[in-house]
Structure 1
């Protein structure tokens, strides 16, 4: 066993490990067919609080299946539980950014202060009742360390109460959502590429993440300033490995929304030929090594998530091509949970997105789910 991979969904990292010729132990909440096919050993750990790790169960699985000192790469799922990161790091070295770094960058007050110091545009935020410009501005209420947009809700106009515990208020800014993936060794950085993101909203989850496609150019001429800002943060904070920067971009201005100091959802967009395996690049960057340059995929790749509009049981038979995160026949997916990811590629962003939408419709029909039209944002 070369390393362990731990994430809410370990499949993209496990696929990259296999592409790099690495034997991985994968621990996540699903242990789906794809993850098990890519990993040397694949284990599903218990959930807690809906869609989070049961830390004790995770640590018990890691201890029973790996020797002390086996390196670990962490994906999504630790943004609001850096204490669990620390517990993992006491036994297994983490190849990536440490819990203390993640804690600071996922603290909205700390990130806002850093951006203010560096002159990087960042929406106004507060952990308390809104005052000043926030009294009349449209606001979003976000969970600290939340992921996939499930936790984001618009604040009712005129509501001047403080946010709920572990939440903060953010001035809502308008534009198009993008994410920039960066590779850093703590002293310098290389841009891997940018993706355009979209939503798949529901009435109670209006900012639910829907998918992404790339590589794309950051629009309106903002690319150089955004890359410079991301590089400043990466080098000033000594970040290592793959890091993603979530952005809102309008014609005349842009804002940094979040920094995710670990491999993110855009990994599978770029982990294709002629790009080297991104996990291998991540490991090398953690050791201080960066490539002189990185190639770019020849086509645009789109990856979209299908959610269960109602409880569904996976039927017998083969999944359609380009479906990832496949679960075994007979698995029951609860309402609102992710069912699978579909992928498509094309010469343009529009073509790749259309291909993903067509595959979503195909899988919906197979599963007996409503057609649905996820609104792009």
Structure 2
């Protein structure tokens, strides 16, 4: 075994590892058939509080199944629980950003202060009841270290108190969501690519992550300024490996919303030929090595999440070829939970998203769900 990969959903990391010829232990909340196909050993970790690790079960699984000193790469699921990161790192060295670094860049007040110092546009935030410039402003309430957009809600105008514990308030700004994925060794960076993101809102989760497509050009002439800003943050904070920056872009302005100091949602759309395996590049960057340059993919790749409109019992039969994260027949998927990821490629974002829509509808037919059409 070469290393362990741990994330709420580890399939993209395990797939990249397999592409790099690495044998991995995969620990996540699903242990779906595709993840198990890519990993030397694949284990499902107990969850708690919705979609979060049961830390004790994770540590027990890691201790039981890996030798001391086996390196670990962490994906999503630790930003709100850096204490769990530290517990992992006691026995297994983390190849990526350490808990102390993650704690700083996921602290909204610390990130706001850093952006102010570096003159990077960042919407105002507070941990207290809104006052001053935020009083009467349109506000979002976000969980510190949250992921996937499920944790974000829009505050009602008559809500004047502080956010709930573990959350913060951020001024709502208008724009189109993008993400920039970089490879960093702490001193310099290489651009992997920018991607366009969109939401798949539900009644109680209006900002739920829907999908991503890339590579794309950052519009409105903001590209050079955004790259300069992301490079400053990566080097000032000493970030290593694959890191991504969530952005909102409008014709007249742009804003940084979050820094994700680990491999993120756009990993799998860029981990395609002729790009070298991104997990291998991540490991090299953590050791200080960056390639002279990175190739651009020939086509646009896209991925979208299919969520369960109602409770689903997975039927017998072959899944559509575009679907990943396959679950065994008979498994029960609760309403609102992610069912699978649909992949597509095309010569443009519009072409890739049209194929995504067809793939989503094919999967919905397989599950007996109504078809909905192109994702927004």
Range of TM-score over shorter length: over 0.9
Aligned twin of 1:279: 279
Partner of 2:258, secondary structure, is strand
Alignment of 1:22-101 (within 5 A): 22-101=22-101
Aligned twin of 2:115: 115
1:84-136 deviations in whole A, cap 9, x for unaligned? 00000000000000000000011000000000000000001110000112112
Aligned twin of 1:3: 3
Task: Provide the rounded CA distance (Å) in 2 between the counterparts of 1:373 and 1:359.
Answer: 10
Aligned twin of 1:364: 364
Contact 2:357 2:375 in 1 (8 A): no
Aligned twin of 1:209: 209
Task: Give the count of matched residue pairs.
Answer: 376
1:322-359 deviations in whole A, cap 9, x for unaligned? 21111111111000000000001111101101110111
Aligned twin of 1:336: 336
User: Does 2:259 correspond to 1:265?
Assistant: no
Question: After TM superposition, which residue ranges in structure 1, 4 or more long, deviate above 6 angstroms?
Answer: none
Task: Provide the rounded CA distance (Å) in 2 between the counterparts of 1:7 and 1:265.
Answer: 11
Aligned twin of 2:346: 346
Deviation for aligned residue 1:222 = 0.3
Deviation for aligned residue 1:198 = 0.3
Aligned twin of 1:151: 151
Aligned twin of 1:315: 315
Partner of 1:90, secondary structure, is helix
1:62-105 deviations in whole A, cap 9, x for unaligned? 00000000000000000100000000000000000000000001
Partner of 1:76, secondary structure, is coil
Aligned twin of 1:242: 242
Deviation for aligned residue 1:371 = 2.4
Q: Give the aligned CA root-mean-square deviation in angstroms.
A: 0.8
Aligned twin of 2:254: 254
User: Does 2:176 correspond to 1:176?
Assistant: yes
Task: Provide the rounded CA distance (Å) in 1 between the counterparts of 2:47 and 2:203.
Answer: 25
Task: Provide the rounded CA distance (Å) in 1 between the counterparts of 2:291 and 2:64.
Answer: 36
1:264-307 deviations in whole A, cap 9, x for unaligned? 01000100000000000000000000000000110000100000
Task: Provide the rounded CA distance (Å) in 1 between the counterparts of 2:36 and 2:277.
Answer: 18
User: Does 2:233 correspond to 1:233?
Assistant: yes
Aligned twin of 2:295: 295
Contact 1:185 1:290 in 2 (8 A): yes
Contact 1:136 1:158 in 2 (8 A): no
Aligned twin of 1:13: 13
Deviation for aligned residue 1:374 = 7.1
Task: Provide the rounded CA distance (Å) in 1 between the counterparts of 2:228 and 2:88.
Answer: 33
1:142-183 deviations in whole A, cap 9, x for unaligned? 011111011100000132111111111110000100000000
Deviation for aligned residue 1:187 = 0.5
Partner of 1:319, secondary structure, is coil
Contact 2:241 2:286 in 1 (8 A): yes
Deviation for aligned residue 1:373 = 5.3
User: Does 2:187 correspond to 1:187?
Assistant: yes
For structure 2, which runs of at least 5 residues remain unmatched after alignment?
A: none
Aligned twin of 1:220: 220
Task: Provide the rounded CA distance (Å) in 1 between the counterparts of 2:164 and 2:213.
Answer: 33
Partner of 2:91, secondary structure, is coil
Contact 2:353 2:375 in 1 (8 A): no
| Cα separation, partners in 2 of 1:373 and 1:206, compared to 1, 3 Å | farther
Contact 1:309 1:370 in 2 (8 A): no
Deviation for aligned residue 1:369 = 1.6
Task: Provide the rounded CA distance (Å) in 1 between the counterparts of 2:301 and 2:173.
Answer: 27
Partner of 1:181, secondary structure, is strand
For structure 1, which runs of at least 5 residues remain unmatched after alignment?
A: none
